[in-house]
């Protein structure tokens, strides 16, 4: 019985982010393409990578994970040449296929948001009040 309750509690803290899995790239802008790749959730961990390329040369590289702990989901980002950051899930809307992670103490960004619209993945980083927003529209691609 306790095992069943523990399993139900874990499931409540681990929303289905299957819609995020895949390889996503922006349209080229000034010769630069940005791609996010997310592996399906496996044993409570979802691995992601963000790479920005200009003319085939990697400009930026970031590793990301989404994990589950006793309080819910955590988005962990490790941008190249920057301090890593942890953002706790603030909202999840399964109908809208949207998830938002926040961390008030982080300098920038304080909010990371993903939303799926058909074969597009919309991503946004901003301050908690929505200021300094930067948005990307990714399209599903083959790797």
Per-run averaged pLDDT (10 residues), the chain, 143 residues? 38 79 96 97 95 94 95 95 94 96 96 97 98 98 83
53 sits in which H/E element? strand 45-54
- Where along the chain do its domains lie? 2-141
Residue in 69, 67, 68, 105 with CA at minimum distance from that of residue 85: 105
Indicate the SS3 state at residue 94. Answer: coil
In order of 50, 51, 52, 133, the CA distances from 81 in angstroms are 14, 14, 14, 21
Q: What is the pLDDT of residue 12?
A: 52
- Determine the Cα–Cα distance for residues 93 and 130; give it in Å rounded to an integer: 18
Task: Please indicate, yes or no, whether the overall pTM of this predicted structure exceeds 0.85.
Answer: yes
Indicate the SS3 state at residue 64. Answer: strand
Q: What is the pLDDT of residue 40?
A: 96
Residue 29 corresponds to which tokens in the numbers above?
């802008």
Architecture of domain 2-141: Beta Barrel (2.40)
- Determine the Cα–Cα distance for residues 131 and 80; give it in Å rounded to an integer: 24
Q: What is the pLDDT of residue 15?
A: 85
């Amino acid at each position: 019985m306790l095992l069943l309750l523990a399993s139900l509690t874990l499931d409540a803290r681990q929303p289905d982010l299957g819609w995020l899995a895949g390889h996503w790239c922006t349209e080229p802008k000034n010769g630069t393409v940005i791609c996010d790749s997310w592996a399906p959730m496996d044993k409570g961990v979802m691995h992601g990578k963000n790479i920005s390329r200009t003319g085939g040369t990697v400009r930026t590289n970031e590793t990301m994970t989404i994990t589950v702990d006793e309080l819910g989901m955590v988005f962990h980002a490790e941008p190249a040449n920057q301090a890593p950051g942890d953002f706790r899930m603030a909202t999840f809307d399964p109908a809208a296929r949207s998830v938002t992670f926040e961390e008030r103490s982080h300098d920038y960004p304080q909010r990371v948001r993903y939303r799926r619209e058909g074969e597009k993945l919309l991503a946004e980083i901003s301050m908690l009040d929505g200021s300094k927003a930067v948005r990307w529209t990714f399209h599903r691609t083959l790797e």
